[in-house]
Amino acid sequence: MKTAIIVSKKDIAGMNIAKHLEYYDLAKCDASLHVLDLDTVHAENIVDEVEADFYLFATRHAAASGKPSLSCHIAGNWGEAEYGGQRGKLCMGPAVILKEAFLELHKQCGEMEHEITLEATHHGPLLLKPCLFIEIGSKEEDWKNMESGNVMAKVIFSLLSRITQVDDKPHDVVVGLGGGHYPPRFNKIQLETDIAVGHICPKHHLSLLDEAMLREAIAKSFPVFDYFLLDWKGLGSEKSRIVSLLDSLELSYKRADQL
């Protein structure tokens, strides 16, 4: 699996991670590091500039809470494209690699005080090849933290050393619906089951889901979509509409609380 690791000169955390990746022989896992002048969320043309099977963006994560965090997620926009990408378009989401990245974060960083979490699908760029983001949060002192940069480099190298096929499918591949931007229900599923959660549509974006958007999520699930996974309590006021829509379209789904 040929991997392009992408960082931006405008991103303190990304450059921190890149500095520590210099100590690893990336060629051993068929990976290469690429430093961009522009923000990663606007790297729409990266697939034309760098040939790879998989694109891994190593970046900062900003949060109002300011809580130190290590996170990973797939890119795309359920609604308006406020930070790169296109409205109502999702990236090709490698659910199995996302799961393995999340497990690797827990393995390597479990003793750190950082929160380790998935994030719902959000922001650009829009890529039609498998890609994901792995991020240090949530404020400048965290982005500059050398321990965080070092451990994230270790996570990336370990992950890429183990994942040799971009289309491996040892798990059910699902799209998560409901919950918050930081989804504790799907974090638990990712950690404790054989299910690989890929794209996640949080509760505050459920109103945007229609047939076209659901089919976009299916088409952009990689390698092969199996079913929607519902955070039952996390569907809020959209629960009845979402269930009726899935039933009317005869789309497969399961309740996360009944697994």
Cα gap 163→184, rounded to integer Å: 25
Residue type, 9: K
What pLDDT is recorded for position 216? 98
User: What are the structural domain ranges in the chain?
Assistant: 3-162, 172-258
Q: DSSP string spanning 32-97?
A: EEEEESS-GGG-TTHHHHS--SEEEEEEEEE-TT---EEEEE--B-SS--SSSS-TT-B--EEHHH
**Phi-psi bin for 147: left (phi > 0), alpha (psi -120 to 50), beta?**
alpha
What would be the CATH architecture of the domain defined by 172-258?
A: 3-Layer(aba) Sandwich (3.40)
Find the Cα–Cα–Cα–Cα dihedral 89, 91, 96, 98, rounded to 10°: -100
pLDDT band at 111 (very low <50, low <70, confident <90, very high): confident
What pLDDT is recorded for position 100? 97
pLDDT in tens, 30-87: 999 999 999 999 999 999 999 999 999 999 999 888 899 999 999 999 999 999 999 9
CA-nearest of 175, 205, 193, 16 to 102 is 193
Question: Residue 117 pLDDT > 80, yes or no?
Answer: yes
What pLDDT is recorded for position 113? 87
Cα gap 135→93, rounded to integer Å: 16
Which one is the CATH code of 3-162: 3.40.630.50, 3.10.450.50, 3.50.50.60, 3.40.30.10?
Answer: 3.40.630.50
* DSSP conformational letter for 221: E
Cα gap 13→75, rounded to integer Å: 18
Residue 115 forms beta bridges with which residues?
69
Cα gap 58→43, rounded to integer Å: 13
| Mean pLDDT of all residues belonging to the chain | 97
Which pTM was predicted?
Answer: 0.97
- Rounded average pLDDT over 145-162: 96
pLDDT band at 207 (very low <50, low <70, confident <90, very high): very high
What pLDDT is recorded for position 154? 97
